[in-house]
Homo-oligomer: A and B are copies of this chain.
């Protein structure tokens, strides 16, 4: 893999201790590449950053309306959530609406990331359920599509109608043919795309009327607006997606994915951003997306959220500031 440019720096005292290299593509809805760092044609696994694409069949098929899904449900379908009560209660209600339960999910269980929820579970002597999985909202979405289509229970099979619909939507919105996929942490297939393709898709979510037609334009608008309206459902307290969307409050949507992917949907600017840090470090992807949001006028450079992710001191065990994590100058030049 060719070396990408440095997008984030970790300083300790006078020493540049660590760096995070990565690639970025910023596109318009017609696919025009506006800016790039590194190789915009690089094929990546978008991981959870593409959940709004994976949710398109949910809305477009009519399944969301048939089962009375609200903006909250749609935000949760696009979420990598903390497993706090606001997330798991909604997921449980959703499953009940479908006449299904935790055992119908195929995402697997893991302890909730939310500290209070994790402790409460432990204090009750209970094991985590699949609804605690950070991807349970996406899987509720898959199950809703499946209920609508009448497919078999193994909805994460790459050849299942639900995943074939996701694959088709991915190819259409990214304007490219998927040539590879991998199984994600939650067992769903994750379709590989180029950064440029993913950024184009995000630009189309930013300007659905320019990038899409008819039902797709309406579905993209609903999903994007649901995420922007409910940042607390898309991730949770203390998480970058939630903090950045709250700080912007201008319809801009950001979404992270494992191994340091981040996307941005910028309605005012009509731009889509897709970035991947080569080494998979979240601290690097958070710094880079915050810097790019400032660069394009979506986020205030003086906001605490910017400083928290793109320009923050590193304290040691006695709260002495000994270092600094910051986005690379190249993202501001």
Q: Does A192 contact B (CB under 8 A)?
A: yes
Instruction: Return the chain B residue nearest A322 by Cβ.
Output: B183
Prevailing SS type, chain A contact patch: loop
Do B187 and A320 touch across chains, with their CB atoms under 8 A apart?
Answer: yes
Alpha-carbon distance A135/B255, docked complex (angstroms) = 37
Question: Nearest-CB distance from A159 to chain B (Å)?
Answer: 15
* Known A-B contacts A108-B317, A317-B110; A182 and B259 likewise in contact (beta carbons under 8 Å): no
Closest to A281 in B: B279
B322 A20 Cβ-Cβ under 8 A: no
Is A181 touching B13 in the complex (CB atoms < 8 A)?
yes
Copies in the complex: 2
Say if the beta carbon of A149 comes within 8 Å of chain B: no
A16 at the interface (CB under 8 A from B): yes
- In angstroms, Cα B278 to Cα A280, docked, is 13
Q: Are A183 and B18 in touch, CB under 8 angstroms?
A: no
Please tell me if A34 contacts chain B, counting CB pairs below 8 Å. Answer: no
Assess whether B279 is in contact with A13, with CB atoms less than 8 Å apart: no
Asked if B280 and A45 make an inter-chain contact with CB atoms under 8 angstroms apart, the answer reads no
Identify the closest chain B residue to A180 (Cβ).
B14
A183 near B320: Cβ-Cβ < 8 Å? yes
A135 to B, closest residue via Cβ: B317
Q: Is the pair A15, B316 in contact by a Cβ cutoff of 8 Å?
A: no
Q: State whether the Cβ of A204 lies closer than 8 Å to any Cβ in chain B.
A: no
Which residues in B have their C-beta under 8 angstroms from that of A1? Answer: 6, 16, 19
Interface status of A33 (Cβ within 8 A of chain B): no
| A13 interface neighbour in B13, B15, B180, Cβ under 8 Å | B180
Does any Cβ of B come within 8 Å of A117's Cβ? no
List 15 A–B pairs whose Cβ atoms lie within 8 Å, in order of A's numbering.
A1-B6, A1-B16, A1-B19, A12-B45, A12-B183, A12-B259, A18-B280, A106-B318, A107-B317, A108-B316, A182-B322, A183-B320, A185-B322, A279-B281, A281-B281
